[in-house]
Amino acid sequence: MYTNPIDACWRCQADWEKKRRKLAKCALGFGRGTTGGKAGRKYLVKDPSDDDMVNPKPGTLRHAVIQDEPLWIVFAKPVMKIRLNQELIVNSNKTIDGRGSHVVIEGGAGITLQYVENIIIHGIKLRDIVPGSGGLIRDSANHFGFRTQSDGDAISIFASHNIWIDHCSFSKASDGLVDIIKGSTAITISNCHMTDHDKVFLFGASDTHYEDRNMQITIAYTHFGKGLVQRMPRCRWGFFHIVNNDYTHWLMYAIGGGKNPTILSEGNRFIAPINPRAKEVTHRQIPSSPWDSGTWISNRDVLINGATFLQSRAPLQLQTIESKMIGSMHGRFAGRATKYAGPLKCVPKRAC
Q: Annotated catalytic, 99? A: no
3-state SS, the chain, equals: CCCCHHHHCCCCCCCCCCCHHHHHHCCCHHHCCCCCCCCCEEEEECECCCCCCCCCCCCEHHHHHCCCCCEEEEECCCEEEECCCCCEECCCCEEEECCCCEEEEECCCCEEEECCEEEEEECCEEEEECCCCCEEEEEECCEEEEECCCCCCCEEEECCEEEEEECCEEEEECCCCEEEECCCEEEEEECCEEECEEECEEECCCCCCHHHHHCEEEEECCEECCCEEECCCEECCCEEEEECCEECCCCCCCEEECCCCEEEEECCEEECCCCHHHCECEEECCCCCCCCCCEEEEECCEEECCCECCCCCCCCCCCCCHHHCCCCCCHHHHHHHCCCCCCCCCCCCCCC
Given the residues 231, 236, 269, 284, the one annotated as active site? 231
Residues with a known catalytic role: 231
